[in-house]
Structure 1
Amino acid sequence: METVVASLTIRYFAGARAAANGTRSETVEATTLGELKQQLTDRHGERLGVVLKAASFLVDGLTCHDETAPLPTDATVDVLPPFAGG
């Protein structure tokens, strides 16, 4: 089975945006959520890596928890850190 590398739009919210040095959105190529998290940590540093460990992820508006599931091509991934009081 051929692995498809998905071109993804990543959008950062709240503390994730701050940890990504103020980046609002960017494009990344990755096959899985686990690979995406590693790439983002490598790109922006361990501060974002810590946030990503606790963050929730929406892939095209649907919650994604499975770090090994293939990501759809051209998907939008929202990175939502834990929010105070919620």
Structure 2
Amino acid sequence: MLTVRFFAGARAAAGTSSETVDAGTVDELIRLLADRHGERLALVLKSASFLVDSLACHDRRAALPDGTTVDVLPPFAGG
């Protein structure tokens, strides 16, 4: 199981700040979350960045070990 934490617009679209899911990769996680929460979150996920255990994830097909925390970060305005 993974812990997924949603921030900013991702939190609003998901309707929660965190949840646990069972997914093997970030690509699989994206599909699962979009199916679970609908089109609004699916749109956010298309442009979101993902941190896997606090490290930027650039390979969305890499394995996510059990117990991993994934942060979903939508694009932020400003800098």
Distance in 2, matches of 1:39 and 1:63, equals 20
The runs of 5 or more residues in structure 2 that have no matched partner are none
Distance in 1, matches of 2:35 and 2:58, equals 21
Task: Specify the alignment match of 2:52 in structure 1.
Answer: 59
1:2-57: CA deviation from partner (whole Å, max 9, x where unpaired): xxxxx100000000000102x01000000010000000000000110110110010
Task: Specify the alignment match of 2:9 in structure 1.
Answer: 15
TM-score calculated relative to the size of structure 1 = 0.88
Task: Specify the alignment match of 1:24 in structure 2.
Answer: 17
Q: How many residues align?
A: 79
TM-score calculated relative to the size of structure 2 = 0.96
CA radius of gyration, larger in: 1
The runs of 5 or more residues in structure 1 that have no matched partner are 1-6
